[in-house]
Structure 1
Amino acid sequence: MKKFMSLLLSIIIMIAGPAMTSYAKPDWPSDTGIQSEAGIVMDMDSRTVIFGQNIHVQKAPASITKLLTALVVIENAKLDDMVTFSDDAIHNVEDGAGNKNALEVGDKMTVKDCLYHMLLTSSNQSANALAEHVAGSRDAFVAMMNEKVKELGCENSHFANPSGLNDDTQLTTVYDMALIGTAAYENPTLLEIGSAKSYRLPATANNPDGVTIKMEHKMLMEGDPNYYPAAIAGKTGFTSIAGQTLVTYASKDNRRLIAVTMKSTEFTHYQDTTALLNFGFDKFQNINISENETSYTSGDQPVTLGDGSYEPSDLSIDAKAVITVPRDAQFSDTDRNVVTKLPENHPDGAVALLEYTYNERKVGEVYIISAKQAAIDETAQAGGETPESVPAGQDGEGTPDSGKETGGAAHIAFKLPKQAPWIALIGVIAAAGLGFAIVFFKKKKEEERRLMEERRRKRRQRLEEIGCTQEEFDRLLEERARRGK
């Protein structure tokens, strides 16, 4: 009997074993063999850290700083603005930093020209001149840079100059630079400039006929031994303290990766970046969330999220949102966490955030959006009203009594004192001023009323589009007010 049971168990294991093995969750690949002290490859769509080495250790960035500089400039200046190179912009650089294309004090180029010069050839002078143009001084511009990195979620970065030249306080991490690089290359203007292979600069004092500059990032240049076909844009960096640093954006098979290496002291930054990108493309995949996460957006039963109840037909998930997992993994291998206490910068209409993890590693997230909640948020942001917000005596169609009016202006009755003509003159001027003020405020009130009616019209149209009645909208608006949103 024992022999029979042992044989039966062996048969079961033999049959079921391969099946059980095939459904085991794949391990997260880990080894890329990079030699730089710090490196990362991140999926730009899911923000998943595919591989990281010392990703939160602060290091000097060198000229990859210029990606942040370019982003701040593009967001705060017009491309055709004219930039004049000051003495400080030309000469306030450390010894040995050089002067690409021999710019002189008084040279003029557009913001666009300076951006190409800065990103393709890493000109420190163009970085300085752009900073002065945008903020009035480099110190003021640096403050804008540090404000921007906070906005991007960088927690271990501090910048002290726009060029990336050596400074003991200019420190960041490969993780923060991946966030900065992602934001930079998601800006269409910066992507166009940062991916150019060459550019023709206009005439300057030492280049009266203009000059053609070329991209320094070797992985973008076809024919170079370091050329990487999937690489689209990138920025190089080097100082004696930072060593070689590199940011590279690549796209392949409908996936977008950002790779960063810092503190490469043996000129391995191109080799390391190639290894990181190959690792990300070859061993991982993106899976669409909305195609797999249907429990919230389908069916006919109400969905409860936090304190709210929603119809599935009212809810949606970004059709482009993805998670990043190992090549052989499935969507069902991930764990989901539903967050209803949302961050302050959540999008309009968000009622929950779905966070996905794989073996306790975050691999993506997406907001659940309510169309009705979006209409409420839009109304509130546009100055929408609750019944209590309409002042007493106004019904949206009329205005409070403001006295008798004649010819569209308030009628002011007064008598001129005969014994003091100059006093009478002052009275006339004062009365005229009061009359003009009344007319001005009346027109302003009429404009406000017109805008309010336009908001109401758009709101009614929006409600009709999403199938929400006025009564339901008022109820949701009152709930929003009670929640203090």
Structure 2
Amino acid sequence: MKGIWGGLVLAAALLGLAAPLHAATKAEPPAVKKTAPKAGGKTAVKPKPKAKANTTKAAAGKPVRHATMVDNDPAHLALHSSSVLVLDQTTGQAIVEKQSGSVQPIASITKLMTAMVVLDAGLDLYEVISIGEEDVDSLKSSTSRLPVGTTMTRETAMLLALMSSENRAANALGRHYPGGLPAFVRAMNSKAAALGMYNSRFEEPTGLSSNNVSTAHDLARMVAAAAHYPEIRHFSTTAEARVELRGHIRDFVNTNTLVRSDNWEIGLSKTGYISEAGRCLVMQANVAGKPVVIVLLDSNGKMSRVGDANRIKRWMESASLVNARRSA
């Protein structure tokens, strides 16, 4: 009799291990499924009770993958830029990385360094400078809306270089530096060394040369430094401007369409493109309550750098929401 009774107790105990899971499923209503924005193309839910693994069963019985800030594999974001770095400025932690140490051409991202060197020199921003034959692009034969002979203040030249990526304006800034372009380029490389950009090299102030090279990590340092200059923050995020040139009013727009978006809070921005560098974009922004630096290099489509930025933003916001609910 004791043997039979003991067997019944053991069976009841084993069944009791599984009972809470089945009971919870029946007693509680199905967890509400929250569809995350299409960052990883999957759905995030808050399971009840919490699952120990990174996947669980949704109400419909399908496995669901949870987005978390720890899960920083860029393959899940389907990023089209060949080199990526998203850096949390508060902690210094890399949130997303993809070939962030690769040395490659940086195109007009160069112009952030150009602006810093001009401002560090304390040159008069209201001094009038001119566009000369020396400022015409002989490397890529790119066009410009600034004819030779155009005059403007150094401040306007900086605005057009940062906002509309005007190459002639950027070159004129370097050419009107004390000691001319050779001295200016030396100052650019000295500034890079001072910032710890040890894998970077600058040959001229526009970015048209493919010999202007850096890494995503070095550029994150440069962006963080440039964000300390009010003029750079303001000029690089100006959506559009009307400028009087040679008696005519000209409209200029920012090369980064995201600065005109209400969905973004951007503190600094710069785009770049030459064939060797691909489409590039760097920004300092607040995303999901975090101040971050975003570096996207060598993106392989005209709009893919913007798409990558939006994918990163949606993923961070989704992950932040999931983490907040888990800790609630």
Same fold (TM over 0.5): yes
Tell me which residue corresponds to 2:133. 87
Q: Judge conservation of contact 1:36–1:263 (CA < 8 Å) in 2.
A: yes
Instruction: Please identify, of 66-75 and 273-282, the stretch whose mean Cα deviation from structure 2 is larger.
Output: 273-282
Query: What is the rounded CA distance, in whole Å, between the counterparts of 1:27 and 1:229 in structure 2?
Result: 20
2:192 is the counterpart of 1:149: yes
- Change in 2 beyond 3 A, CA 1:253/1:280: closer
Letter of the structure 2 residue corresponding to residue 281 of structure 1: E
Aligned to 2:234: 192
1:103 aligns with 2:103: no
| 1:412-459 deviation per Cα after TM superposition (whole angstroms, max 9, x unaligned) | xxxxxxxxxxxxxxxxxxxxxxxxxxxxxxxxxxxxxxxxxxxxxxxx
The amino acid across from 1:234 in the alignment is S
Aligned to 1:265: 300
2:71 match: 29
* Larger relative contact order, structure 1 or 2 (CA cutoff 8 Å, min sep 6): 2
**Whole-Å separation in 2 of the counterparts to 1:38 and 1:177:** 11
- Displacement of 1:70 after TM fit? 1.3
Q: Determine helix, strand or coil for the equivalent of 2:105.
A: coil
Do residues 221 (structure 1) and 256 (structure 2) align? no
Distance verdict in 2 for CA 1:228–1:93, change over 3 Å: farther
Q: What amino acid is aligned across from residue 33 of structure 1 in structure 2?
A: A
Q: Distance in 1 between matches of 2:159 and 2:277?
A: 23
Corresponding residue to 1:43 among 88, 103, 111? 88
Identity %: 22
Provide closer, same or farther for how the CA distance between residues 174 and 2 of structure 1 changes in structure 2, counting only shifts above 3 A: farther
Aligned ranges 1:365-376 → 2 under 5 Å: none
Match of 2:278 among 224, 243, 261: 243
Per-residue deviation at 1:328? 7.0
- 3-state SS of paired residue (1:102): coil
Between the aligned partners of 1:9 and 1:42, the Cα distance in structure 2 is 49
Change (3 A) 1:102 1:172: same
Question: Which sections of structure 1, spanning at least 5 residues, go unmatched?
Answer: 286-325, 331-485
Q: Does 1:58 align with 2:103?
A: yes
Q: Specify the alignment match of 2:312 in structure 1.
A: 276
Q: 1:67 aligns with which of 82, 100, 112?
A: 112
Q: CA deviation at 1:199?
A: 2.1
**1:118 counterpart = 2:161:** yes
TM-score scaled by structure 2?
0.73
- How big is each residue's C-alpha offset from its partner over 1:5-57, in whole Å with a ceiling of 9 and x where there is no partner? 786587579879x68949xxx77122211012112222233322110111111
> What is the CA distance between 1:156 and its match in structure 2?
1.9
Distance change >3 Å, CA 14–CA 71, structure 1 → 2 = farther
Unaligned runs of 5+ in 2: 1-5, 22-48, 54-67
CA contact 1:197–1:220 (8 Å) conserved in 2: yes
SS in 2 for 1:263: strand
Distance in 2, matches of 1:127 and 1:27, equals 39
What is the correspondence of 1:458-469 to structure 2 with a 5 Å cutoff? none
Deviation track 1:164-219 (CA, whole Å, cap 9, x = no partner) reads 0133x321122222221222223222111111112232333xxx234232212111
Q: Structure 1 95/5 Cα, relative in aligned 2: closer, same or farther at 3 Å?
A: same
Change over 3 Å in CA distance of 1:272–1:252 after alignment to 2: closer
Counterpart of 2:42? none
Whether the 8 Å contact between 2:87 and 2:293 is mirrored in structure 1 is yes
C-alpha spacing 1:73/1:13, structure 2 compared with 1 (3 Å):
farther
1:134 counterpart SS class? coil
Q: Deviations over 1:84-143 (max 9, x none)?
A: 33432x2353242222x23314x3322210111101111111111111223422222122
2 CA distance for matches of 1:151 and 1:7?
71
Q: 1:9 to 1:172 in 2, by over 3 A?
A: farther
Could you say what the CA RMSD is over the residues aligned between the two structures, in angstroms?
A: 3.1
Q: State the distance in 2 between where 1:171 and 1:274 align.
A: 25
- How many corresponding residue pairs? 277
Larger radius of gyration: 1
Partner-residue secondary structure (3-state), 2:248: coil
SS in 2 for 1:213: strand
How many angstroms apart in 1 are the aligned matches of 2:204 and 2:159? 19
CA distance in 1, matches of 2:114, 2:15: 66
Shift of 1:284: 4.2
Structure-2 change in CA distance of 1:253 and 1:269 (3 Å):
closer
